Amino acid sequence: MFDQLAVGFSGRYRPMRWWLGSVLGISALTRLVLWMAAEVPWSPFALLATLGIGAFFDLILALYLGMPLLLGLWCLPRRWIRARWGRWWIESISLVLLAVLLFVALAEWTFWEEFQTRFNFIAVDYLVYTHEVIGNIRESYPVGLLLSGLGMATLSVFVLTRGARRLPLAQQDQGFGVRSRFALVWLGAALLATLGVRAEQREWTDNAYLNELAGNGIYQFFAAYRSASLDYARFYRQLPAEEAYRRMRAELSTPDATFVSDDPLDLHRQIDSPGTERNLNVVLISIESLSSIFSGTYGREDSLTPHLDALSKDSLVFSHLFASGTRTVRGLEALALSVPPTPGESILKREKNHDLFSLATVFNAKGYRSMFLYGGYGAFDNMNDFFGGNGYEVYDRSDIDADQVHHANIWGVADEDLYSLSLQQFDGAYADGKPFFAHIMTTSNHRPYTFPAGRGDWPQGQRESAVQYTDWAVSDFLHRAQTKAWFNDTIFVITADHCASSGGIAQLPAFRYEIPMWIYAPKHVSAGVVERRMAQIDIGPTVLGLLGMNYVSAFYGANLFTLPAGRERALIGNYQRLGLLAQDTLVELAPQSYVGAVTPVFDGDFAQPGKPLDAELAARAIAYYQTASDRFESGRMREDAARIALLPAAGKTAAGALKAPGRTVAPPGS
């Protein structure tokens, strides 16, 4: 095999040698640039290991991506390849391939700057929403200058390396049969790589940055595309089904919950909330990328959220709230469905995701108008379709008149304009005599970080400025809301969809998941600080508990005020790795049936040391993710939601008739 490669590289396949050198050189240079951007501590061994493993994946990419050039050199007859047009054709393919390599290198730099990772499932998603993504790039970077520089770099490299591609026309060319050996060796190597290599094999250390750098962006992009839908049952550790559901029923057992049946696979509970049921309006604001570390309320000395900090003295503040994931869809999924972040795509973007049991299901049954309001076009990330199919009225950028927009960028209108749309809808619901539940999703705190002029002395285009603007916009919204007749009967829940950054040294960096939350309703919810750990999936059930609402639940979250002490946990994850944060342990699940445990670190980007795996905690983590995945994939989530919808207002539970709305003692914090 190696003889065939050596002979081929010295003959008509000489451009393939140039191609391999180009891939290895450009990829290594990209790796070094990203290394410096990641501020990874210098270590000769780590550098050599990263470059060596990276070169292996670069070679695999070269096998795949070099196919057009290989086929041209293989199939062109001798007289054609000696002709000028034949050589120009080979040169044209080479130029295009080189341009692709350099363009991707530039794209990887911008992607790393945003996500601290090589291309992954996020990049796959972005291919679907080219309007927003291309617009975001155009508004965030000097695209003309970058593309001009890229074009000049491509032509310069192409010209300077032309000698390495030059075909040896004076040499006796090989016949088709002889030169086929080289092509078949190349194709065979590509086939072996497809069958025997996985993207996860780049993970040689506990430092996630180094694992990412050891990969190849294009290779990882296609690996993510192939596994866009991860089957939990195929890739993750499982318990026997009945044991998983038995453990989940124990996990969901709380003093306010009674299971509606003795069926071991049935997770439905009748929730009898303490306190008097109150039909107060609820406004849930999920702010784009609002990390706790931005706020003085959560310890930042030079706070970027002075208005929210001032609101804290009149609010119920939650100190240890963890987002489910690192993308907006994961936050929306957690807030709407109260389910763990199952592997692969968010439920928002999967098929058969309508008619699920959602927060709107509960509110609609109580006579509310439920709304989802988004500052951008809700076709992005399938938001409109998902929320519209699960009990929400949907409003987005298209519902705002152009003359009412103070500012807009590719992601959406300014937060203040989204709040104006919201106020209009709330006024309409109040005029109709109906209480309302509204979930507002903002966009201003997102690259390119632009906002209306004159709102503060903050420079455009900087994340810190966008945080300060979004803080101002929340305050402005509340001031305007205070003039409304419905204000005093409204609970405002202000939180985030996820943190501003997602990457870290650890595979699941716990500190990247902490988000803030304020519940503001001075006439109904007492101010204070809740120090208990809380998951994003607990927000909906906790708010329903504060309202004293009784309902049949299919949620995985719990009312934090009725959850027994010591049972606190958070469920966090990324595309493939799933975590249960409980006590002083983070249990991690990953493909290839991996289960491990680390000590979570909350005070910065540090390694999370491994620790012995507690069998009970591991089984607890598996039960959450296995049952959630099973219930969605099997269609049981849809069936269960339909069952709940058919229950009469005074249906039966295992303990007897479903209770009517109670009139008892108010819950803690009310």
Same domain? 59 vs 102: yes
Average confidence score pLDDT of the chain: 89
Same domain? 134 vs 258: no
pLDDT at 663 over 70: no
Same domain? 218 vs 256: no
| Domain range enclosing 45 | 2-226
Tell me whether residue 373 is in a domain: yes
Tell me whether residue 670 is in a domain: no
d(Cα 144, Cα 132) in Å, to the nearest integer?
Answer: 18
The radius of gyration of the chain's CA atoms, rounded to the nearest angstrom, is 28
Q: Tell me, what's the pLDDT at 313? A: 96
pLDDT confidence tier of residue 501, bands split at 50, 70 and 90: confident
d(Cα 33, Cα 109) in Å, to the nearest integer?
Answer: 8
pLDDT confidence tier of residue 655, bands split at 50, 70 and 90: very low
Any idea what the CATH number is for the domain that residue 470 is in?
A: 3.40.720.10
Same domain? 200 vs 275: no
pLDDT at 76 over 90: no
Give the least confident one: 99-103, 167-171, 187-191, 516-520: 167-171
Number of domains in the chain: 2
Q: Tell me, what's the pLDDT at 10? A: 61
What is each CA distance from 615 to 249, 587, 600, 611, 619, in whole angstroms? 18, 10, 18, 12, 6
Which of 226, 246, 268 is a domain's end point? 226
Q: Tell me, what's the pLDDT at 569? A: 97
The fraction of the chain above a pLDDT of 90, given in percent, is 66
pLDDT at 529 over 80: yes
Helix (H) or strand (E) holding 36: helix 14-38
pLDDT confidence tier of residue 592, bands split at 50, 70 and 90: confident
Instruction: Determine the average pLDDT of the residues in 478-507.
Output: 94
Same domain? 277 vs 217: no
Tell me whether residue 532 is in a domain: yes
Tell me whether residue 542 is in a domain: yes
pLDDT confidence tier of residue 664, bands split at 50, 70 and 90: very low
Same domain? 440 vs 583: yes
Which of 197, 226, 255 is a domain's end point? 226
Tell me whether residue 217 is in a domain: yes
pLDDT at 132 over 70: no
Q: Tell me, what's the pLDDT at 661? A: 30
Q: What is the pTM of this model?
A: 0.83
Tens-place pLDDT, residues 9-50: 667 788 999 999 999 999 999 999 888 877 677 788 888 999
Tell me whether residue 404 is in a domain: yes
Same domain? 21 vs 112: yes
pLDDT confidence tier of residue 662, bands split at 50, 70 and 90: very low
**Comparison of pLDDT for 237 and 642, the residue scoring more:** 237
Q: Convert 230-266 to b/e letters by CB count within 10 Å (16 or more is b).
A: bebeebbbbbeeeebbebbbebbebebbbbbeeeebb
d(Cα 100, Cα 95) in Å, to the nearest integer?
Answer: 9
Q: Are 536 and 292 in contact (CB under 8 A)?
A: no
Same domain? 608 vs 511: yes
Residues 6+ apart with CB under 8 A from 2: none
Q: Tell me, what's the pLDDT at 517? A: 98
Same domain? 281 vs 258: yes
Same domain? 206 vs 311: no
Residue 289 region, left (φ>0) first, then alpha (ψ -120 to 50), else beta? left
Q: Tell me, what's the pLDDT at 9? A: 63
Q: Structure tokens of 203?
A: 């993970």
Tell me whether residue 353 is in a domain: yes
Q: Can you tell me whether residue 137 is helix, strand or coil? A: helix
d(Cα 204, Cα 184) in Å, to the nearest integer?
Answer: 31
The β-bridge relationship of strands 369-374 and 393-395 is parallel
Tens-place pLDDT, residues 504-513: 889 899 999 9
Tell me whether residue 351 is in a domain: yes
Same domain? 169 vs 284: no
Q: Structure tokens of 188?
A: 């065979």
pLDDT confidence tier of residue 134, bands split at 50, 70 and 90: confident
pLDDT confidence tier of residue 137, bands split at 50, 70 and 90: confident
Same domain? 598 vs 490: yes
Tens-place pLDDT, residues 362-420: 999 999 999 999 999 999 899 999 999 999 999 999 999 999 999 999 889 999 999 99
Which of 226, 256, 272 is a domain's end point? 226
Query: Within its chain, how far is the Cα of 588 from the centroid?
Result: 17
